Each structure stands twice: as C-alpha cells, then as structure tokens.
Structure 1
Amino acid sequence: MSIRVLIVEDNAVARSFLVRVVRESFSDEIDFTEARDLDSARQALGIGPSQRARPDPKGFRLILCDLEQPDGSGLELLAQLAGHPAIKIATTLHCDDDHLFPALQCGADGYLLKEDRFEVLVEELQKIVRGQPSLSPAIARRFLGFFRGIDNRGGSVDSSFGSLSEFGGRTLPAPLGSPAADMPGLNSRENEVLTYLAKGFTIKEIARLMGIKWFAVNDHIKAVYRKLAQHSSPDEALELHRLTRD
C-alpha cells in the first residue's frame, strides 16, 4: 500500500524538488498530491478555511507545508492540522526563529530549510520521521525563553543550569494561554540540552559534555517538542503571529 504525501508549495520548481527529496528519503511506494496554495491543500484534505482536519485511515501520512503561501500563511493550515496524525513539516526559505517557532507552536513536527543541499534535506527529513527533529541555536533560545516564561508564571521549569513504513504518528514570546498546574515544564536535563543547543553545540558534543549517549540527547529534544505541544494552542500561536506581523 502506498504512502500518501501532501506537498503544499506555490513554486512549481520547489514542489518538484521536494518530491525528489521525499522519494530519495524513503523506499516506500509514495502517492503524491501537490497543492499550489492553501485553497488547493484544503480541497485535498476535504476541509474548509475554518475547519479542523479530521483523521482519515486512508489519508495523508506526511504533509510538507511551505510557510509563505500566495493566499495566506502556511501557519493557518498547520493550525487546522493540529491533532491530525500525519507528520507535519514546515518548509521555508527563512531560517529565523520568528518564522519557525510559530510553526512549531502550531503543531509542526519539524522544519526543512529549502535552501539546504539536497543531501542535507534528505537526512533531515529522515530524522524528523524517526522522531529526531533538529533545533538551531536560535530556535533553542526561543524554547528556553518560552519555558522560562512559564516558570515565571508559576510553572516547573528548572533554570538551575546556566544561562514511510517507518512513519511515526513539533525576541522571546510570552507563553500562550494559562498552562494547567499539572502540565510539566522542562526538567534539568532538558533545560541543559536546550542551553547547549542555544550555544551552538552539536548533538555529539552535548552527549560528551553531559556524559550520556547521543540518542539520549535526541530523546530529551523529543520530550521538549512534546511539552511545547502541551503548552501551546495553535490558534493562539497563529493569533500572536498575526499581531506581531501587523
């Protein structure tokens, strides 16, 4: 049975490039649907502009969504996909945290920078699908600021450390909403990993500094992604992004 993949990208050359990246990344038979804008993507998903996408056993398993769309922001579609079991990946030409952090708050499981080399994109896509999303130093700093903001409001962040057959199933902003008391913040190990990432250390370097295996570092990063999803409302993240863009 083929794996269904949706690619939302207005540039035809970029769409073709992303199709090549996905084909190279997996040995599965893949059924591609290409959408040139948000309206076309919603038609493929069978939803309207304000509807949440519902799980479908025969639906898409992987969705790549460019953040800059001719009829709106890709964040809008990511917010509509919140809770959908597909692996959702934001694609963009912009590597700054102002573009990427809102995408993660809206439910993206990771991101790809379209200007990266083909081989790099293949490797990064495979990692995201395996549950090993990467974090740039800028994004790691945004994560730290987000969770430390929750800590300042009474959360549990420990700030003691210094400043496709294999498909599975995400300036400092203020935390969104009112996190429930039982929602977990970062533990000391997760905080330590983020702090090292924010300083530019690699996964292997962090593992050596912390005296743990590299895959344990990845586990901490995955845990941080999960906690961000627990604390973030996609709708509030989208609204905050709109306000900061106005």
Structure 2
Amino acid sequence: MPIRVLIVEDNAVARGFLTRVVRESFSDELSFVEAAGIEAASAALDLQGQGTEAFRLILCDLEQPDQAGLTLLARLAGYPAIRIATTLHSDDDHLFPALQCGASGYLLKEDRFEVLVEELQRIVRGQPPLSPSMARRMLAFLRAQPLPEGDARALTPRESEVLLQISKGFTVKEIARLMGMKGQMVNEHIRGAYRKLALTSTPQQALLAGATLDT
C-alpha cells in the first residue's frame, strides 16, 4: 500500500519542488494529492470518510491568504499524520503559531534541495527541528500556563531541562552527554514539548499570533 501524501501549496512551482523533495526522501511507494488551497485540501481530507486511505504525511504552506495554512493545521489537530509546515520565513514569529497548531515540524522552502530532504527525513524519524530562540520561546510560554500540579499538559523536569539546554545552544548529542541519556531520548523530550505546546495553545491564540504578522 503506497504512503499517501498531501501537499497544500498555492504556487505550482513550489508544489512540484516539494513533491520532488518528498520523493527523494523515501524509498517507499508514494501516492500524492496536490491541493492549491484549503478548499481542495479539505475536500481531499473529507474523502477519507468514504473509504479512502488516510494521509500519512501532510505538507502545509503557511503563506496562503487569510491564514488558511494555520487554519488547516489547527483543524488537523489530533489527525494521525505527520504534519509539516512549509514556509519562506525562518523567524520564530512565523513558525511559533504553526507549532501551536500542532505541526510536527517545519521546512524552509528557500533551503537547498538536499537540505530539505535531510530535514524531512529527520522529522519523519522523530527528530523535530528546534532552534535556541524557539526553545526559549516554548519554555517561556509553557511555564506561564496556569496548569494544576500534575497536569499531563505541563512540562516534565526532563523536558524543561532539554529545552533549557537547547536554548543555550547545545546540540542533541551534547545534551545527551550532559544529561546521561541517549540522543533518541533527548528527541523524545523535544517531541513531548511540541505536543504540550499544541495541547496548551488554542487555535485562537495561534491565529491571533499569526494575524499580528500581517498588520
């Protein structure tokens, strides 16, 4: 059974480029659906309720009009697929709302082809990207949430420590050595922080944060 991939991108050249990136990233048989906007993407997703195989990988462009990309990511919260935001902007102000909406990671469309292939493979392997500045922002946001003691949405001490070390500029390999754990466990803590950011954020918060960039 081929792996179904949904690429949501309003620029035809970019859609073709991202399709090539995905093809190069996997040796598995792939089945692509390309959507130029949220309406076409929604139609493709709705077909799954009629017996169509579920998508396992979704790439969603953040530069669509009226925050359609963020809206789609928010709608897909909890959807059992790897959801990746694609964007031209590398700054945290653009990327953070996508993570709040539940993105599993992000790709910068202006990166070189071989870099995008490597980054996509890393995300699919469970190694999401996280810059020091993004780690600081995640840590501040999650620590500020008014959650009761023991709430499953709160960061664990290990997750907090991993984010803190990343915010200082340490790599996953360096953090593994410092904390006496395998790199795989460090990445698991990063994924845990990703999940909790999405769980403690509302779609309205993410869309509001994204809207301020357009004003």
Normalising to structure 2: TM-score of the pair? 0.89
Residue 133 of structure 1 corresponds to 128
Q: Which runs of 5+ in 1 are unaligned?
A: 48-52, 157-180
2:174 pairs, out of 200, 205, 210, with: 205
Amino acid at match of 2:177: R
Asked if structure 1 preserves the Cα contact closer than 8 Å seen for 2:94 and 2:213, the reply is no
Q: Secondary structure at the match of 1:46?
A: helix
* Alpha-carbon shift at residue 155 of structure 1 (Å): 4.8
1:23 is aligned to 2:23: yes
Residue 53 of structure 2 corresponds to 58
Q: Write the mapping of 1:64-213 to structure 2, written as runs, cut at 5 A.
A: 64-70=59-65, 72-150=67-145, 153=146, 155-156=148-149, 182-213=151-182
Q: Secondary structure at the match of 1:74?
A: helix
Q: Write the mapping of 1:216-227 to structure 2, written as runs, cut at 5 A.
A: 216-227=185-196
* Alpha-carbon shift at residue 11 of structure 1 (Å): 1.7
Mean Cα deviation higher: 231-240 or 221-230: 231-240
1:230 pairs, out of 179, 194, 199, with: 199
* Alpha-carbon shift at residue 45 of structure 1 (Å): 2.2
What CA distance in whole angstroms lies between the structure 1 residues aligned with 2:197 and 2:51? 25
Relative to total residues, which structure has the larger helix share, 1 or 2? 2
Query: How many residues of Structure 1 are paired with residues of Structure 2 in the alignment?
Result: 215
Residue 170 of structure 1 corresponds to none
- Return closer, same or farther for 1:239/1:70 CA change in 2, 3 Å cut-off: closer
Asked if structure 2 preserves the Cα contact closer than 8 Å seen for 1:140 and 1:197, the reply is yes
* Alpha-carbon shift at residue 94 of structure 1 (Å): 0.6
Normalising to structure 1: TM-score of the pair? 0.78
* Alpha-carbon shift at residue 142 of structure 1 (Å): 1.3
Asked if structure 2 preserves the Cα contact closer than 8 Å seen for 1:37 and 1:71, the reply is no
* Alpha-carbon shift at residue 79 of structure 1 (Å): 1.1
* Alpha-carbon shift at residue 88 of structure 1 (Å): 0.8
* Alpha-carbon shift at residue 39 of structure 1 (Å): 2.3
What CA distance in whole angstroms lies between the structure 1 residues aligned with 2:129 and 2:198? 16
